[in-house]
Structure 1
Amino acid sequence: MLKKIPIHQVQLGMYLQSMEGSWLSHPFWKTKFVLREVADLEALLTSGVPAVWIDISKGADVDTAPAQDGLVQDLVDEPQPAPPPPAPAPAAALARPERVSMGSEMGRAAQTINRSRQAVTALFGEARMGKAVDAEMCMPLVEEVADSVSRNPSALISLARLKTKDDYTYMHSVAVCALMVSLSRQLGLDDAQTREAGMAGLLHDIGKMMMPLNVLNKPGQLTEAEFDIMRSHPMRGYMMLKEGGAVPESALDVCLHHHEKMDGSGYPQGLKGEEISLLARMGAVCDVYDAITSTRPYKAAWDPAGSIQRMAQWTGQFDPVIFKAFVMSVGIYPVGSLVRLDSGRLAVVIDLNPQNLAAPHVRVFYSTKSKLPIPVQQLDLSNPAVGDRVVGRESPQDWGFTHLDDIWRKT
C-alpha cells in the first residue's frame, strides 16, 4: 500500500517508492529501496525534496519505524520550511517545454549533465558487479534529458560531447540518450516512443561493463583478439539486460543491434536493411556520431561538421532516411563547428536556427585576410541585416585552433 508523507516524517526502515519534485533535487540516482543507512536519510532530509511515497507493505510505516540515530533525529526535529507547490503531473500528460536559446539552456543542461554522470556511473558500476538493471529507475534521468532537449537540443548534446577519456563510457550513454530523443522528435515519434528511444540510448552500451578494463581503456589500437572481445559487448549487454527482466524489448533490441549496418556488414548478426529495427538504425547513427566527435583513449575528437560530412560518405552503413533526419536534428553545422563566412572571417557555431540550418548563430573571431584574431562578434546569420553567410566548414586542425570549445560555451 502506497502512502505519501512529508519529508520530515521519513525514517529508517521505510521503503521509498518515489520522490516528489524535480529529479534534479533527488539525492539518489534510484528509488524503490529500503532506507537503511543514516547517511542516506540525512541526504534525503536536507535535499529539498518536499515529500515521498512509501510502500508500507514492504517497509515501515510512520508509526512503526524504528527510533532514529541521534544526529538524524535532530535533523527530523528541526523546523522544516513550507513545502513548495505540488509537483507537476507526469511527463506524459505535459506539453513539451518551450524552445529557448542555447545560452538560456546551458546552465540547466550542465546541471543535468553532472547529475547524469553520477547516476550512470552508479548504474553501470552496479551492472559491472552483476546487479540487475531496473529500467524504471532510469526513467527520471531520461525524462530530464528529454526536457532539456525540448528546450534546446544543442545545449545538452554539445556539453555531453566534451566528455573526458576517463568518463567516456558513462557520458557516451548520456549523449546517445539525448541524440536519440532529438532524432525521435525529428522523425515525428510520439512521446512514449521517444522515451523508449532515450532509454535505449542510455542502456545501449551497458555490455561494455563486462569488458576487461585493459581492453576497454586501451590507449592504442586493439589487436584482432582484443577487437573480438569488444565485439562481444552487444550480446553481453543484451544478456545482462534480459536477465534483469525489467527492460523494454526496444532497449534490448538497440543494445544488441546498434552495430549492425544497412549493407549487412555489421555485427553481431549481420542483419541488413529492414531486418534492423527502426530504433536500432537510429541507435547506429547516434552511437557513431557521438563516438567520433568525442576524445577517446586512442584518438582525438573529430569536429562536428566534419564528422557529419564523413558519415555522409560511408555508403551502406546508415539508413539514408534516418541519417538525413539526424542531420536535421543536430544541424548541417552543429554547435562547435568552425565555419568560413563569405566575408572571409572564421566563426564558431553557437546555436542553430531550426527554420534555416544553413544560417546558424555564430561567434566571429578570426580574419583569414589578415590571419589575425579579431574582436569576437555574435551574429544571427538568418538576419538579412547581417549581410554575411556560411560558405563552408573549416578544419580546426588545419588552422591550429584548440580553443573553439571555450568560444561556443561562453553565454
Structure 2
Amino acid sequence: MLRKISVSELSLGMHIHKFCRPWVNDPFWISQVEVVLQDIEVLKRIQQSDTEEVWIDTRRGKAPDERAVSEMPVEDDTTPVCLEKEVQRARLICGKAKDVVMTMFSEAKMGRAMNMDDVDLLVEEISNSILRHPHALISLSRLKTSDEYTYMHSVSVCALMVSLARRMGMPDEQVREAGVAGLMHDVGKMMIDPLILNKPGRLTTEEFTAMKYHPEAGLKILEESQQVNAIVLDVCLHHHEKFDGSGYPHGLKGNEISIFARMGAVCDVYDAVTSDRPYKKGWGAAHSIREMASWKGHFDDLVFQSFVKAVGIYPVGALVRLRSGHLGVVVEQNDESLLLPRVKVFMSARTRKRFKPHIVDLTHQHDRDAIVKIESAEDWDLNDIDELWAGCKAG
C-alpha cells in the first residue's frame, strides 16, 4: 500500500514510489523513482537532501517501524467488513475525494500543476475501501446531488474502474492506473462553458459540439502536466468511443479502442445514467444495468459482462419486489449467484403498509423467495430508500 513518510523514517529495503519534491530535471532523483532502496550511501544522500517526505509502497518493500505505523491513522486496512461499517468510512473518503477533485480541476483550469501525490493517495484509499467491501463506496457515490455531479462523477468512475479492473484480474499496478484514469477522465470539462455543462434542457447542435471537445481539452491539460502515463491519457481521450465505431472524438471501432478506454466507457455511462443531473433524474441502478445491456454496439460485451459481475444485476440500493409480495432494497451481493442477493424487506406491495425492516437472504432455501420485478421508488412514493441501506440521503 502507498504510504507517505518522512525521509528520517526511510530504511534499507523500502520501495520508493515517489519523492515529494520537484525532480524532473535531476538525473539522480529520476534514477531512484520506483526502486527498492538497497544502498546505504543513497539513503544518506536522500536524508541529507532538501527532500522532506517520500511515498513508499509497502507491498513491494519493507514497511515503516511497527510502532510508528501504529501511531498513524489506519487508512490502508483492507480487512473485509460489513456494508454498514464500510459505509461510514466510505462517507469520509467521498468527502475528502470531492475536495481533492475540486482542487485538482481548479488547478487544471488555471493552468497550474496538479498535485499527483493527492491523486495517488486518494486512489489508494478508494481501492482499499473496495477491498474492505466491494459495494459500499460505489453505491454511496451514486447519492451525489446534481450540483456536485461534475466532481463526484470522477470519484464514482474511479471506484468503478478499480472494481472492474479487479474483477477482470488485472495486476495491482494496472488496477491503480485504471483508478487514476477514472479520476481524471473528465478533467477537460473544466474548459467547457458552465452554462453548457449545467444546462437543464437539451443541448443545441452547437452546444453539443462544444461539449464533445472535452476529451481533447482534457488530453491537452494532462499532456502539459507531464505527470500521467499513457493509460490515463488514453482513457481521457477515448472514453466516449463506442465499440461499433459511432463514438467520438475519433470514431474508433472494436479493438482499435484500448481495453482501458472500453472499461472507461462502461463506467462513465453507468454513473451518468444513475445520477441526478440538471436536465433529468437518474435511473435506478438495476434499471440502468438492464437498459445498458440493450444498447447493442455501444460497449465491449466481455467488458460489460465483467462490469455486471462487479456491481451486480441487482446492485446495492436497488428497489425490488419479491415473490412473497414484499418490497425490499438490495443490501448485499452473492458472488455465487447474481440473482440471489440479500434484501432488506420493509413494505407490503399489496397493502402498501410498512413493517419493521429485516434481511432476507435469497440463497437460503427456507426463505423460498425470489426477485420478480425491479421497482421505481417514485412509483411507490418512497423517499427514504437510500437511508434504508446506507443510513443517509443523497448529498
Please, what TM-score do these two structures have when normalized by structure 2?
A: 0.81
Tell me if structure 1 keeps the 8 A contact 2:141–2:152. yes
Q: Does 1:85 align with 2:34?
A: no
SS at match of 1:153: coil
Partner of 2:7: 4
Cα separation, 2, equivalents of 1:357 and 1:233: 36
One-letter amino acid matched to 2:385: L
**Closer/same/farther in 2, CA of residues 388 and 90 from structure 1, 3 Å limit:** closer
**Closer/same/farther in 2, CA of residues 136 and 4 from structure 1, 3 Å limit:** closer
Cα separation, 2, equivalents of 1:222 and 1:147: 39
Partner of 1:42: none
Percent of pairs with identical residues: 48
- Correspondence 1:275-294 to 2 at 5 A: 275-294=256-275
One-letter amino acid matched to 1:102: L
**Closer/same/farther in 2, CA of residues 130 and 391 from structure 1, 3 Å limit:** same
Cα separation, 2, equivalents of 1:100 and 1:359: 20
Partner of 2:321: 340
Cα separation, 2, equivalents of 1:172 and 1:196: 17
- Correspondence 1:260-271 to 2 at 5 A: 260-271=241-252
Cα separation, 2, equivalents of 1:100 and 1:343: 30
Cα separation, 2, equivalents of 1:250 and 1:90: 26
Worse-matched range after superposition: 98-107 or 271-280: 98-107
Alpha-carbon distance, 1:387 to partner? 2.5
Cα separation, 1, equivalents of 2:47 and 2:226: 22
Q: Tell me the C-alpha RMSD between the 2 structures.
A: 2.6
Alpha-carbon distance, 1:360 to partner? 1.1
Partner of 1:74: none
Residue 239 of structure 1 is aligned with which of 220, 234, 237?
220
Residue 212 of structure 1 is aligned with which of 173, 190, 193?
193
**1:2-33 Cα distance to aligned partner (Å, 9 max, x none):** 96358xxxxxxxxxx87xxxxxxxxxxxx648
Tell me if structure 1 keeps the 8 A contact 2:75–2:125. no
**Closer/same/farther in 2, CA of residues 231 and 60 from structure 1, 3 Å limit:** closer
Residue 238 of structure 2 is aligned with which of 257, 282, 290?
257
Alpha-carbon distance, 1:230 to partner? 0.6
Please, what TM-score do these two structures have when normalized by structure 1?
A: 0.78
Alpha-carbon distance, 1:89 to partner? 12
Tell me if structure 2 keeps the 8 A contact 1:3–1:56. no
Partner of 1:364: 345
Alpha-carbon distance, 1:60 to partner? 8.8
Alpha-carbon distance, 1:252 to partner? 0.2
Unaligned runs of 5+ residues in structure 1 are: 7-16, 19-30, 34-53, 62-81
**Closer/same/farther in 2, CA of residues 408 and 237 from structure 1, 3 Å limit:** same
Alpha-carbon distance, 1:186 to partner? 0.7
SS at match of 2:282: coil
SS at match of 2:314: coil
Unaligned runs of 5+ residues in structure 2 are: 10-17, 23-45, 54-66
Cα separation, 1, equivalents of 2:143 and 2:187: 20
Aligned pair count? 344
One-letter amino acid matched to 2:127: A
**1:346-374 Cα distance to aligned partner (Å, 9 max, x none):** 11111212222211121111112223223
**1:162-195 Cα distance to aligned partner (Å, 9 max, x none):** 1111211111000000000000011110101100
Alpha-carbon distance, 1:248 to partner? 1.0
Alpha-carbon distance, 1:108 to partner? 1.1
Q: Does 1:298 align with 2:279?
A: yes
Q: Does 1:201 align with 2:186?
A: no
Cα separation, 1, equivalents of 2:298 and 2:197: 24
SS at match of 2:146: coil
Worse-matched range after superposition: 218-227 or 259-268: 218-227
Cα separation, 1, equivalents of 2:333 and 2:182: 23
One-letter amino acid matched to 1:4: V
One-letter amino acid matched to 1:168: Y
**1:215-260 Cα distance to aligned partner (Å, 9 max, x none):** 1122222111111111000000011101111101000000000000
